Amino acid sequence: MWKGSVVSIHITSSEGQPMCSLQEVQAVPSMGLEGDRYFYQTGKYSDKHGPGRQVTLIEIEAIEALNREEGIDLPPGDARRNIVTHGVPLNHLVGKAFRVGEVILQGVRLAEPCGHLAALTQSKVELALVHRGGLRADILADGVIQVGDEISEVT
């Protein structure tokens, strides 16, 4: 059984704006992370509905590999994902519940990179993050997520 942790938390209040780092954030079921663009329905893809649109996660290991392999300097917040993790096999959490501190999330689908991400960062990012761009999840139980929180699968 694995155990990981929250490395950093990032949100932005509107589409295309720089992400800001937080030490903690309130997670609200059916809405997302308080203060984030998708919480307020002001994100690029807010008009698309369905599961997996409340919170996104990405592994710090994937960002470090991208930087190393592609010679890119992509800070964690620039990946445009809300929660950066360490030691968490995110691809394996599709369809599974997991705990982030006191909050319970449900993995829905991979967060594959898109042209919008490439336009906001660098063109190489889109192809380089295929199948390691993170996880889209829904919030099942509310609470506060903090940097340093433990992440574990709910059994």
Q: What percent of the chain has pLDDT over 70?
A: 85
For CA atoms 31, 39, 3, 143, the dihedral sign is: negative
Domain ranges of the chain: 4-153
What pLDDT does 23 receive? 98
The pLDDT value recorded for residue 97 is 97
Residue 1 confidence (pLDDT): 81
Class of residue 72 by CB neighbours under 10 A (exposed 0-12, middle 13-18, buried 19+): middle
Q: What does the chain come to in residues?
A: 155
Q: What is the mean pLDDT of residues 125-141?
A: 80
pLDDT reported for residue 127: 63
Q: Are the C-beta atoms of residues 141 and 103 closer than 8 Å to each other? A: yes
What is the reported pTM? 0.87
Does the pLDDT at position 114 exceed 60? no
So what's the pLDDT on residue 45?
56
Confidence bin at 118 (pLDDT 50/70/90): low
pLDDT score recorded for residue 69: 85
In CATH, what class is 4-153? mainly beta
pLDDT tens by residue, 56-113:
999 999 889 888 888 888 888 778 789 999 999 999 999 999 999 999 999 999 987 6
- Of 56, 30, 32, 38, the residue nearest 113 (C-alpha): 56
